Amino acid sequence: MIRVNDEPADHGFGMTVASLLRERGYEKAMVAVWIDDEIVRRDAYETTPVQDGADVKIVLMAAGG
């Protein structure tokens, strides 16, 4: 079990940040991700694992003026 934006979520074996984003329908270029209060670089989404018990924050970037 992990937490995503303060909500409990299932954790899949071998889950990475990229697979979590795909599962939730996010485009990785449009979000910022933190795991346990540490920012994850976008170029590391494919290789950064999401461990069981992780607290993940996903923030959608929005443009506007």
Q: What's the rounded Cα separation, in Å, for the pair 34 and 55?
A: 8
Q: Structure pTM?
A: 0.89
Residue 65 has pLDDT above 70, yes or no: no
**How confident is the model at residue 30, as a pLDDT?**
87
pLDDT value of position 62: 79
- What's residue 12's pLDDT? 86
What letter represents residue 48's amino acid?
T
CATH architecture of 2-60: Roll (3.10)
Tens-digit pLDDT profile for residues 40-55: 999 999 999 999 999 9
Are 14 and 7 spatial neighbours (Cβ–Cβ below 8 Å)?
Answer: no
